[in-house]
Amino acid sequence: MDAPSPALAHAALDALSDALFLLDAADRVTYMNGAAARAFPEVTPGALLTETLARHADLPHDPEDGCVWFCAARAQVLQWRAQALPGGRSVQVREVSEAPSGDAFAVMLDSLPDPLYVQGRSGVQRLNAAARTLFGVPTGAAADVLTPPLYRDARTGEVFPPGAQPVQRALRGERLTQEVQVWVGDEARHVRLAAAPLWTDGAVRAAVVTLTDWTDRQQARALRRAYTQLERRMEARTARIVELNAELTAYGLSLSRDLREPLRRIDGFLTLARKRLAGVTDERTERYFEVIRDETSRLNQLVEDLVALSHAGKAEMQVQDVPLGQLVMQVRSDLAPLMVNRRITWRIDALPTVPGDWMLLRLAVTNLLHNAIKFTQDEPEAVIAVQALVRPNEVVVSVRDNGVGFAPERAEEAFGLFVRLNETFEGAGLGLANVRRVIARHGGRVWAEGRPGEGATFFFTLPLGA
């Protein structure tokens, strides 16, 4: 008899209901029939069969001929049959219509990490170890002590109607996979349920149900949604802060321009009035003139502080290595006129070099040292200390004085705009706001500590490295 043609041989193999694979000596697929292509679409010609089925269908490693295993992804019990061929072998994979009995099968089910149970029309017939743990059924107790679970819609939490319960659908011959919710004790668990019918003599005898706990995944989804919403709100708030910051900067510059000319005119006319009335004014009139000049100077300083605050927020940073020790010494020298007839002890530690903008950092240090000098003016022996603590990623700089201090509960507002920690001293409340703005642009933080009559310490950090 002549050998059948290849076309006839392929047609015969495609007529088989079981999946059939032909493999070469390297275990690569050289042929698969129609049933194999339909049952295992993840397997393609040239693929390593055992490796692919182990990844997608829970096939044990190095399966022996006749091996029976449970495919959780399909809720199927499958059997592996292999036969040697010249240059390779053939493999037949078929679904086992009834779960085999015996200790070996029980051990196999108990080794599955996901809960699995078999439910008939009268109740639960078999549980693996993971299902017993999930539903709280003691080892050794009969499976039918477990009341068949009622599943809920994962989105609404509503119980499915009796006819729409996943297990009931499987008992009607339907194979399904869906995400559901099930109550275990007093806790709702989100699970991926796979249910498939077990057939005997053309009728559905029971349903095999496997559950994959997705509660953590559901919580992770909720966290991601919350994080996304928070991120969107933060982006909107940041955009609004940027907008308000730009408006404040523009307002500060506009206000300073609008105030400078009237102040210049007031000072000019005051000078002319004093010359015109020289020799004819009394002491009270001279006192009035001094008050006008002092208040004009104070308002001028406020204008300059507003300009500095505006520039601190919008000036382009020129980053370079800034030796803080040299910077502090220069600022102290610039402030020398404020220390005439004062006894001040300076304690300046060795300070590191940091990356930053020299002019902006100079502005911040000037404000801090100026405050220390001002708030110690009533001390017979003032002490001002500048110290630094170098950490792995940042340097912490502190400016401490033994001046009037402030109430600890006001520490958080110390760097606010127009905040004056001590009303008995002159100032516009913009110096520390400038410090905060400069340090924030450098990626650092600011805070303060103080007690009334015991002095104050102001801290700022600057990042090191990039």
Residue 140: predicted pLDDT: 82
Beta strands in 391-438 (DSSP E): 394-401
For 123, residues 6+ apart whose C-beta sits below 8 A from its C-beta are 144, 146, 147, 148
- State the burial class of residue 167 (Cβ atoms within 10 Å of its Cβ: 0-12, 13-18, 19+): buried
Is residue 100 situated within a structural domain? no
Q: What does the pLDDT look like over 239-279, one tens digit per residue?
A: 776 666 666 666 566 666 666 677 778 878 878 887 888 77
CATH number for the domain spanning 443: value is 3.30.565.10
Residue 1: predicted pLDDT: 43
Q: What does the pLDDT look like over 381-412, one tens digit per residue?
A: 999 999 999 998 999 999 999 998 888 888 88
Instruction: Yes or no: say if 57 and 78 are a contact pair by the CB < 8 Å rule.
Output: yes
Q: How far apart are CA 462 and CA 241, in angstroms?
A: 23
* CA separation, residue 218 to residues 46, 189, 192 (Å): 37, 9, 11
For 67, residues 6+ apart whose C-beta sits below 8 A from its C-beta are 60, 79, 80
For 4, residues 6+ apart whose C-beta sits below 8 A from its C-beta are 12
Is residue 276 situated within a structural domain? yes
Last residue of a domain, one of 163, 183, 213: 213
Of 404, 333, 294, 378, residue with least CA distance to 302: 294
Do residues 368 and 450 share a domain? yes
Q: How far apart are CA 421 and CA 404, in angstroms?
A: 10
Do residues 246 and 364 share a domain? no
Residue 24: predicted pLDDT: 92
CATH number for the domain spanning 309: value is 1.10.287
Minimum mean pLDDT among 289-298, 369-378, 456-465: which range? Answer: 289-298
Residue 3: predicted pLDDT: 47
Question: Looking at per-residue confidence, does 103 or 360 come out higher?
Answer: 360
Minimum mean pLDDT among 66-75, 116-125, 241-250, 434-443: which range? Answer: 241-250
Do residues 33 and 77 share a domain? yes
Task: Name the percent of the chain lying above pLDDT 70.
Answer: 81
Q: What does the pLDDT look like over 45-103, one tens digit per residue?
A: 999 998 888 887 778 777 888 777 777 656 577 888 898 888 899 899 987 654 444 55
Question: Looking at per-residue confidence, does 291 or 448 come out higher?
Answer: 448
Is residue 395 situated within a structural domain? yes
Is residue 351 situated within a structural domain? yes
Question: Looking at per-residue confidence, does 11 or 255 come out higher?
Answer: 11
Instruction: Yes or no: say if 351 and 323 are a contact pair by the CB < 8 Å rule.
Output: yes
Q: How many CB atoms lie within 10 A of CB 364?
A: 31
Mean pLDDT of the chain: 81
**Average pLDDT of the residues in 292-315:** 67
Q: What does the pLDDT look like over 324-341, one tens digit per residue?
A: 999 999 899 888 888 888
Do residues 132 and 260 share a domain? no
Do residues 21 and 91 share a domain? yes
Instruction: Yes or no: say if 28 and 21 are a contact pair by the CB < 8 Å rule.
Output: no
Question: Looking at per-residue confidence, does 3 or 39 come out higher?
Answer: 39
Domain coverage including residue 461? 316-466
Do residues 238 and 204 share a domain? no
CATH number for the domain spanning 12: value is 3.30.450.20
Is residue 271 situated within a structural domain? yes
Instruction: Yes or no: say if 90 and 21 are a contact pair by the CB < 8 Å rule.
Output: yes
Residue 218: predicted pLDDT: 66
Residue 429 has pLDDT above 70, yes or no: no
**Average pLDDT of the residues in 405-423:** 75
Is residue 406 situated within a structural domain? yes
Last residue of a domain, one of 213, 248, 275: 213
Do residues 60 and 35 share a domain? yes
Task: Name the percent of the chain lying above pLDDT 90.
Answer: 21
Residue 317 has pLDDT above 60, yes or no: yes
Do residues 61 and 17 share a domain? yes
Do residues 165 and 69 share a domain? no
Is residue 104 situated within a structural domain? no
Residue 4 has pLDDT above 80, yes or no: no
Q: What is the pTM of this model?
A: 0.42
Do residues 323 and 453 share a domain? yes
Do residues 327 and 462 share a domain? yes
* CA separation, residue 66 to residues 62, 110, 221, 278 (Å): 12, 20, 42, 122
Instruction: Yes or no: say if 441 and 460 are a contact pair by the CB < 8 Å rule.
Output: no
Question: How many domains would you assign to the chain?
Answer: 4
Is residue 103 situated within a structural domain? no
